[in-house]
Amino acid sequence: MNTEGFSFSTCWNIKKHPDDGRGMIEGIRAFGFGSVELNYNVTRAQLATIEPMIEAGEIRVSSVHHAFPFANDKDFDTDSLMLGYADEAKRKHAVELLKQSIEYADRYGAGAVVVHPGEVPFETNVDAELKRIYREQGRDSDAYAALWAEMAERRARLAPEYLARIRRSLEEACEFIARSGYRVAVGIETRARCYQIPTLREAGELIRGLEGGPIGLWYDIGHAMMMERMGLYDNAQDLPDVGPLIVGVHIHETIGLSDHWCPYVHSGDDVYFDRFLPVIDRAPIKVYELKAACEPDDIAQSHALIANKLTALKG
């Protein structure tokens, strides 16, 4: 399988190798990937056996996923306020964690750090409730419309203050990269919950507000599919504006509202995912981010379809 130009996230098999970093990487290398994204659950203990592989050239690192290495702290996990905390001490700590992720990325020769920048807080998990209603009653139901309107009003009202703090945090991270002479980009990722930041338009505003800084959009295709289905934004409408800002993509497909499946293979749809091929083609870093349920044969078949379609796209 020719995987040149593509990377593969350790989220696929990290649970199979909780104490064995080398085994985890070898599991990915076994079906042809020579480059990996080290995801946010990778521990320092696992790095002890992964780092010699990197140094020996056995594996390349395309990207690391913040917070990296694994931070066992719910205040700073991937579904948190992260860079948007109003509490200045917490915001500062989040920036320090991001600097740490950046340092690791530079050490490993990675091109980017993938970041979940923050969210608009809700007292309850309104996203989970909306997804339940979506599955049981549909997006066109009165119950969905009512709760969505409530969520959207609060999100629109509060997002600017959280975006302002996120921008300040990202500015500090960009200054750190410049001072250190690192060649690493910060990629702010499209998210999987409707109250999380950023939407595509918010990403464009953040990145352009730091014009010239080492920051771009990390376009997670499966998440973007999910948010479009829920009604948060329209990819076809918003992508042309932010497309030039993309520094990397996570490649996976969402079936209904279930993500991290192999494109084309698990949906059984040979056409719908085609709309994202130009984005994959142009992205500097291309990473498969698949769940453990994806079998190696499924992954190989999905990659072959994508590779062949990309070849056809180029004429």
184-201 core/surface letters (b: 16 or more CB in 10 A; e: else): bbbbbbbbbbbbbbbbbe
Residue-wise pLDDT for 258-313, tens only, equals 999 999 999 999 999 999 999 999 999 999 999 999 999 999 999 999 999 999 99
Pairing assessment for the beta strands 258-261 and 215-220 based on DSSP bridges: unpaired
Q: What is the pLDDT of residue 12?
A: 97
Strand, helix or coil at 206?
helix
Looking at the DSSP bridge assignments, the partners of residue 219 are 249
Amino acid 293: pLDDT: 97
| pTM for the model | 0.97
DSSP 138: -
Asked, as a colleague might, if the bond just before 198 is cis with ω within 30 of 0, I would say yes
Q: Which residues of the chain have pLDDT under 70?
A: none
Please tell me the predicted confidence (pLDDT) of residue 31.
85
Q: What is the 3-state secondary structure (H, E, C) of 218-258?
A: EEEHHHHHHHHHHCCCCHHHHHHHHHHHEEEEEECEEECCE
The answer to whether 85 touches 77, Cβ cutoff 8 Å, is no
pLDDT given at position 195: 98
Residue (of 57, 38, 176, 47) closest to 111 by Cα position: 38
Report the alpha-carbon distance of residue 31 to residue 230 in Å, rounded: 35
pLDDT at 241: 97
CA torsion sign for 282, 50, 12, 23 is positive
Strand pairing report for 258-261 and 60-65 = unpaired
Q: Domains of the chain: which residue ranges?
A: 7-118+162-313
Q: Which fold has domain 7-118+162-313?
A: TIM Barrel (3.20.20)
Q: Can you give the pLDDT at residue 14? A: 96
What single DSSP character describes residue 213?
S
